[in-house]
Amino acid sequence: MEEEFKVENVHGSAIMASARKENREYRVKKYDFKRPDKFSLEQIRTLSIVHESFCRLVTVSLSGKIRKKIDLSVAQVDQLAYFEFIDSIPDPTAIAVVNMHPLRGSAIIQIDPDISFPLCDLLFGGSGMESVENRELSPMERSVSSSIADVLLKDLAVSWEPLIHLEPEVGQIETNPQMAMIVPPTEMVVLVSLKVVLEGHEGRINFCIPFLTIEPLIEKLSAQYWFSRVRNEREDCVPSENIISLKLDCEVLTEAEDLSLRQIGQLRKGSLVRLPLFGEGHSYLRAGGETVMDLTHKKIRSAMKFQVAESRLRDSGVVPGFLNVNQKADSFNEDSIKSLAEEMKKLSRTLTEKIDRLSLNQEQLSDQVFFSTEGDQPAALQKREPFGFIGLPDIPLLYELLSGENKQAVALILSRLDSGLGAELLGHFPKELQPDIIKRIGTMDRVSPEIINKVEKVLLGSFNKIAESSEPDVKGVEKVTQILSLSPRSVESHIIGSLDKSDSHFSEEIKKRMFVFEDIVLLDSRAVARLAQRVDLKDLCLAMKMVAEDSVREHIFTSIPPAEADELKKCLEEKGRVLITEVDKAQQRIVSVIRQMEEEGEMLIGRADEMID
């Protein structure tokens, strides 16, 4: 029995069915119930044609985005079960789950690691020669991968326009194929596999579409639909009256005798060429570069008269390839004109309302710009530097966040930070990585503002999450500082001394919060004068660079000798731009001297309950 089913024709006696004839042979086709075919060969070919257009579009748009030549071509279009697709792709990998609105369900765009890592490196400003690693995408790489997917989906919508007005959008980015189960494992899908060639790298971008998603378009995936669509578009394209009335250059031509190349080369002004058909009265009319009519002619008296022998236009009064204009105009009746007028009125009212709202918004925006403070202005009007929310205390946390990130992304962030903060951050990285990071900064290409914003958004989100989880601890330290600041001196000294022995780190954190450089106004004039003798005047000048309060500067100037005050003022005037980290270090050195002098009994820091006006 099994041997008989291997042949193309099967005898009726071998078929288990009631409606059969035993003395007849039947043609059979194998059918796999686990892997049923949902797409015909014609539909597969049509999808291949659609995505060849998609490849041409992506080649142009993606090459422009990464500023490198990238080639895409259709490698394979096939139907298979969804679990077969999931099992065939690497793990981890870059997967974008795509919402295929207005179609039902989702689709999958999967990018091989051989391509995704170099693409991310290029978008971060690198050379694209990043080595491929067997790891999951980092948070910043995920964000940039969504940008790549957006480019693909924009061109996908254009290439699918003949089938449907598609509005695809990225739903989520995954790295584990098992987390992207958009349909049951046995559901049939069509897989469009694209070959991608990037300088030094080659891989695949796979587009997986479930049958349930593309089912409404099945009838359109045929040659008959495509040819009828082209014909309908041609018939529906009606020229306007202005086009019909255009004047074209016309010329009357006739055929000459056959000439060899040698004879053509010997032609000179005044040479005679025989026109055999002209003598028989045959010629033709050309308009706009096309032959439109065959003519006959004869000489009447001294004038040459031409007469139309045959028109090569398909119909009288019809431009080739178009419908009759008058016939199209007759299809408009009174009802359709009224309906069109009503629709135009609605559109006019809608447009008027939108213009009014836009005018109101412009007035409100003007009021905000001219009558509000800088902090109250719209965010779009406030100038800011990328990663401006990062300060010196954030550097250790920033290093922890970047330790597992793409090294080109690290170089991108370092290149946008203040030089002092960048130097502090670079020092946290292992020594073997530091030269590579510096080289990446030096050879970095231009990075689009879109990518910088995405990286900044990811980093800011991580900072906010950590800040939310650690907020109680920060408030606790602040509360301790407030309590000790109002406690008697003996209580404060006892607690700080005990903490120095048991938890020096916590004790130092309290000391930093209890007295900062601006608190120098709590010292009397004699204490400030003695402090000026103990510290380097250059440190004092550097520490005062970030002091915004005039009261602090004035207190220092009036407390020290006039000669030193003049020298300090001159130093501040001549001091140019300095690193924030250098100012912080100078202030910390002066605060350390103040603590030391207080411990030695050379000065007393006045407290709120001890100050007397």
pLDDT score of 194: 94
Cα 391 to Cα 354, 388, 580, distances in angstroms: 44, 8, 9
- Let me know whether 7 and 139 are in one domain: no
- Give dist(CA 529, CA 522) in Å, integer: 13
Q: 3-17, 252-266, 274-288, 307-321: lowest mean pLDDT where?
A: 3-17
Average model confidence (pLDDT) across the chain: 77
- Let me know whether 179 and 220 are in one domain: yes
| Strands, sheet with 94-101, edge to edge from the N-terminal-most edge strand | 70-81, 188-198, 201-210, 106-111, 94-101, 167-174
Can you tell me the mean pLDDT for 459-482?
Answer: 70
In the listed set 207, 225, 243, which residue is the last one of a domain according to the structure?
225
Q: Which helix (H) or strand (E) holds 134?
A: none
3-state SS class at 604? coil
Identify whether 195 is part of a domain.
yes
- Let me know whether 12 and 48 are in one domain: no
Identify whether 207 is part of a domain.
yes
Can you tell me the mean pLDDT for 591-607?
Answer: 75
- Let me know whether 47 and 25 are in one domain: no
The token duo for 503 is 């938890």
| Strands, sheet with 303-311, edge to edge from the N-terminal-most edge strand | 250-253, 282-287, 290-300, 303-311
User: Which of 54-63, 460-469, 530-539 shows the highest mean pLDDT?
Assistant: 54-63
Identify whether 445 is part of a domain.
no
Smallest CA-to-CA distance from 586 within 527, 555, 545, 531 is with: 545
pLDDT score of 533: 85
Q: 89-98, 469-478, 598-607: lowest mean pLDDT where?
A: 469-478
Total structural domains in the chain?
3
How does residue 10 score in pLDDT terms, banded at 50, 70 and 90?
Answer: low
How does residue 7 score in pLDDT terms, banded at 50, 70 and 90?
Answer: very low
Q: How far apart are the first and last CA of the chain?
A: 114
Identify whether 497 is part of a domain.
yes
- Give dist(CA 422, CA 417) in Å, integer: 6
Q: Which amino acid is at 212?
A: L
What CATH number did the domain enclosing 594 receive?
A: 1.10.220.30
- Let me know whether 9 and 78 are in one domain: no
CB 577 within 8 A of CB 545: no
Cα 234 to Cα 50, 192, 311, distances in angstroms: 20, 30, 22
Can you tell me the mean pLDDT for 22-47?
Answer: 71
How does residue 206 score in pLDDT terms, banded at 50, 70 and 90?
Answer: very high
How does residue 470 score in pLDDT terms, banded at 50, 70 and 90?
Answer: low
Identify whether 443 is part of a domain.
no
Beta bridge partners of residue 136, listed in sequence order: none
pTM for this structure?
0.53
The 10s digit of each residue's pLDDT in 43-89 is 888 899 889 999 999 998 888 888 888 999 999 999 989 999 999 99
- Let me know whether 23 and 50 are in one domain: no
- Torsion, Cα 9 14 16 17, to 10 degrees, reads 60
Identify whether 36 is part of a domain.
no
Cα 533 to Cα 541, 563, 582, 591, distances in angstroms: 14, 13, 21, 14
The 10s digit of each residue's pLDDT in 109-139 is 999 988 888 898 898 888 877 677 778 888 8
In the listed set 173, 208, 225, which residue is the last one of a domain according to the structure?
225
- Let me know whether 48 and 188 are in one domain: yes
Query: 329 versus 40: which is more confidently predicted?
Result: 40
How does residue 200 score in pLDDT terms, banded at 50, 70 and 90?
Answer: confident
- Let me know whether 55 and 193 are in one domain: yes
What CATH number did the domain enclosing 79 receive?
A: 3.40.1550.10
The token duo for 306 is 């031409």
- Let me know whether 75 and 146 are in one domain: yes
Q: With pLDDT > 70 as the criterion, what percentage of the chain qualifies?
A: 74
Identify whether 70 is part of a domain.
yes
In the listed set 198, 225, 252, which residue is the last one of a domain according to the structure?
225
Cα 146 to Cα 195, 213, 276, distances in angstroms: 20, 22, 71
Place of tokens 């004869």: 298
- Let me know whether 152 and 61 are in one domain: yes
3-state SS class at 208? strand
pLDDT score of 192: 94
CB 190 within 8 A of CB 78: yes
The 10s digit of each residue's pLDDT in 331-378 is 445 555 666 667 777 777 777 776 766 665 555 555 554 444 444 444
The token duo for 254 is 């006739």
The 10s digit of each residue's pLDDT in 398-444 is 888 888 888 889 999 988 888 888 888 888 898 888 899 899 888 88
3-state SS class at 136? coil
pLDDT score of 447: 87
Q: What is the CA radius of gyration of the chain?
A: 41
Supply the range of the domain harboring residue 137: 41-225
The 10s digit of each residue's pLDDT in 548-557 is 677 888 888 8
Identify whether 153 is part of a domain.
yes
Smallest CA-to-CA distance from 597 within 543, 529, 549 is with: 529
Q: CB under 8 Å, gap of 24 or more: what pairs does 265-269 form?
A: none
- Let me know whether 61 and 208 are in one domain: yes
- Let me know whether 94 and 207 are in one domain: yes
